[in-house]
Amino acid sequence: MTHENKLIEVTDLKVSFYHESGKLQVVRGFDMSVEKGKIIGILGESGSGKTVSATSILKLEEDDVSSIDSGEVIFKGLNLMELSESELRKIRGNRISYIFQNASSALNPFKSIGKQLTEVLKNHKLAFSKELVLQALVEVGIEDTETVYDMYPFQLSGGQNQRIMIAQCIISRPDLLIADEPTSSIDASLRKIVLDLLKEINKKNNMSIIIITHDFDVAKYLCDRLVIMYGGLVVEEGPLNEIFANPFHPYTKELIVCAGSLKKGDEIVYTLEGSPPSPFEFADECPFAKRCKVRLPECTSEIPRTLEISGRKVRCIRYEKR
Ligand SMILES: Nc1ncnc2c1ncn2[C@@H]1O[C@H](COP(=O)(O)OP(=O)(O)OP(=O)(O)O)[C@@H](O)[C@H]1O
Ligand SMILES: [Mg+2]
């Protein structure tokens, strides 16, 4: 990957929350980059730090409850970590849009669709017109756009509202869309529609996408590259096809086996035993060591560093030995 192709590059991001007992680091090492026009998936079990890493890229976590302990986020030559709140506001929702996890209420029930979409453009001081709004509605597959323009969310189906929500995120023509579990709170019947829509927008507008998911099938359907998280750390990164064909990290291997076994029917054939560590249990060791079937004695003596192997990254001590 050449540097010029990188739209955003995140290096050594570490994020803590303040608790009664003090400060607790929940993201301990998050690195990723996104090339223009590519779709990157962030995968990992619940609590691994996917959402906090993504929201911290845009400094969306509240200052009084959290702190960014380290990290550089270079977006189109600017380090977002060094920008003021007013400078960041020009980027959020404008150059980088964010579909929040459980965002079913992102639409205002009291405003017409046309008004809500126009407001996005106005808020970002972009040119606005009815024509631009109608065009965005066409792009997300809304038929009869003139009628929908004057309608309210309650008059539309769940599927149409999902499309409008995506229109809200893409009407400013962002360079990057971050979609946090965009299909987890919607009916199975709508899931494919939303995924297809994201795929289409990515292709047509050459818009990069970061999709956060715990569903390997979603990742497989959409992504060019994957970032696998565990215990607040990126444990593996690389092209989707290569990771599927030959996962490096023992955790990634387990995730792939689990995803495959779920498809064999309703009965869960294979699950990964145990649960991921909570940040209160984080220690200077590999966070996966307790569940790892190929653990070595050294795995609990330090946090493994990230190794680069044939253009891929893995954080596992076993690869140091090769
Ligand atoms: N506002 C907060 N205050 C304190 N701790 C938080 C806060 N938000 C998240 N955390 C903690 O940070 C860790 C990472 O959370 P995060 O939401 O990033 O996980 P995730 O990988 O997105 O999980 P999920 O798949 O459930 O969405 C978790 O241990 C979580 O409890
Ligand atoms: Mg999350």
Q: What is the pLDDT of residues 189-202, one digit of tens each?
A: 778 888 999 999 99
Which pLDDT score is estimated for 39?
98
pLDDT, mean of residues 7-13: 97
Domain annotation covers residue 44: yes
Who lines ligand 1 at CB under 6 A? 17, 26, 44, 46-52, 65, 101, 214, 278-279
pLDDT, mean of residues 259-269: 63
Q: Are 56 and 160 members of one domain?
A: no
Which pLDDT score is estimated for 16?
97
Domain annotation covers residue 100: no
Q: What spacing in Å lies between the alpha carbon of 47 and ligand 1's midpoint?
A: 5
Which residue, 125, 148, 171, sits at the end of a domain?
171
- Ligand 1 atom closest to 49 (CA): 18
Q: What spacing in Å lies between the alpha carbon of 291 and ligand 1's midpoint?
A: 21
Least confident of 9-23, 102-116, 122-136, 307-321: 102-116
Which tens digits make up the pLDDT trace of 21-43?
Answer: 889 999 999 999 999 999 999 99
Q: Are 222 and 280 members of one domain?
A: yes
Domain annotation covers residue 142: yes
pLDDT tops 70 at residue 261: no
Which residue, 140, 171, 202, sits at the end of a domain?
171
Q: Are 51 and 127 members of one domain?
A: no
Count of domains forming the chain:
2
pLDDT, mean of residues 231-237: 98
Task: Give residue 261's domain range.
Answer: 3-95+172-319
Q: Are 188 and 265 members of one domain?
A: yes
Distance CA 204, CA 234 (A): 30
Q: Are 145 and 189 members of one domain?
A: no
Domain annotation covers residue 15: yes
Domain annotation covers residue 179: yes
pTM of the entire structure?
0.92
Q: Are 141 and 19 members of one domain?
A: no
Distance CA 313, CA 302 (A): 18
CATH code of the domain in which 78 resides? 3.40.50.300
Q: Are 178 and 267 members of one domain?
A: yes
Which residue, 146, 171, 196, sits at the end of a domain?
171
pLDDT tops 90 at residue 115: yes
Which pLDDT score is estimated for 1?
47
Q: Are 280 and 191 members of one domain?
A: yes
pLDDT tops 70 at residue 215: yes
pLDDT tops 80 at residue 104: no
Q: Are 192 and 230 members of one domain?
A: yes
pLDDT, mean of residues 85-104: 87
Q: Are 311 and 243 members of one domain?
A: yes
Q: Are 164 and 206 members of one domain?
A: no
Pocket test for ligand 1, best of 42, 52, 227, 234 (most atoms within 8 A of CB): 52
> What are 91's two structure tokens?
């980027």
Q: Are 83 and 214 members of one domain?
A: yes
Q: Sorting pLDDT into bands at 50, 70 and 90, what band is 162?
A: confident
